[in-house]
Amino acid sequence: MLAPLAASHDVIAVDLPGFGGSPALEEDPPPSPVVLAASLGTLLDDLGLDQVHVAGNSLGGWVGLELARRRRALSVCGIAPAGFWANPLPPKPFVAHHVSRALRPLVRPALHGSAALRRSALTGVVGDPSKVPAADAVRIVRAYADGPGFVAVNKAMRAAEPLRSREGIDAPITLAWCELDRLVRPPRTLPFPVEREIELPGCGHVPMWDDPDAIVGVIRASADG
């Protein structure tokens, strides 16, 4: 999905702190979306960039909006963005995360060997798990298990004050909601106006495998205005 975007734009693919190849932040203050946005602002400073077009999925969408509040975004594209719930969410035991860590040595042979297991593992995040190659399925589950910041970031996200206002956000906002999303649903009424709001048919919470062309189109349209 990055290649088509990189054909027309300079693309910086970021692992949020505590995920992928990025080390976790300290837990004081808690790594909330506001704190994560501040860390991305520091990254932009290090890269010599003032403002950029931002696209993010789930928590990444919320962080993108907080980055815009810091005047660092030219536009924001939130794909199945977190943070539009009515109140902070209650604490949650991350049982699946801990189980996936414990079973990590079995992930590769299990997901390569069984389409049914791949479907079971990915149904919560992808609309059509059959579209996810086995190697990608392994990477998804391992990323979920291995993120050193997973528990702290999710705890801080759930406790954070939800998005209630676009005060300080002048950048145009695109919100893309996924029809088959089991984790994040669009609010009945947005707490503030946005420039563009669309639905992605047939897509789950992480829609990059369900319809990569649509995601490229949404991000490109957000950046190009």
What's the average model confidence in pLDDT over 104-128? 82
Residue 161 lies in a domain: yes
- How far apart CA 149 and CA 118 sit, in angstroms, is 24
Position 96 scores a pLDDT of: 67
pLDDT one-digit tens code per residue, 183-203: 999 999 999 999 999 999 999
Q: Is 173 helix (H, G, I), strand (E, B) or coil?
A: strand
Within 10 angstroms of residue 67's Cβ, the number of other Cβ atoms is: 28
pTM: 0.93
What's the average model confidence in pLDDT over 146-152? 89
Position 138 scores a pLDDT of: 87
Helix/strand/coil percent split, the chain, to 5: 45, 10, 45
211/108: higher pLDDT: 211
Nearest C-alpha neighbor of 175 from the set 35, 44, 68: 68
Position 37 scores a pLDDT of: 98
Q: Evaluate if residue 123 carries a pLDDT over 70.
A: yes
pLDDT one-digit tens code per residue, 61-98: 999 999 999 999 999 999 999 999 999 999 887 766 66
Residue 218 lies in a domain: yes
Residue 214 lies in a domain: yes
CA 147, 149, 152 angle in degrees (round to 5)? 135
- How far apart CA 68 and CA 17 sit, in angstroms, is 18
Share of the chain above pLDDT 90, in %: 75
Residue 191 lies in a domain: yes
Q: Evaluate if residue 99 carries a pLDDT over 70.
A: no
CA atoms within 13 A on the CB side of 135: 0
CB-based contact 112:138 (threshold 8 Å): yes
- Number of domains forming the structure of the chain: 1
Residue 9 lies in a domain: yes
Residue span of the structural domain in which 157 resides: 2-93+151-224
CATH number, residue 54: 3.40.50.1820
Q: Which residues are registered as beta bridge partners of 78?
A: 56, 175
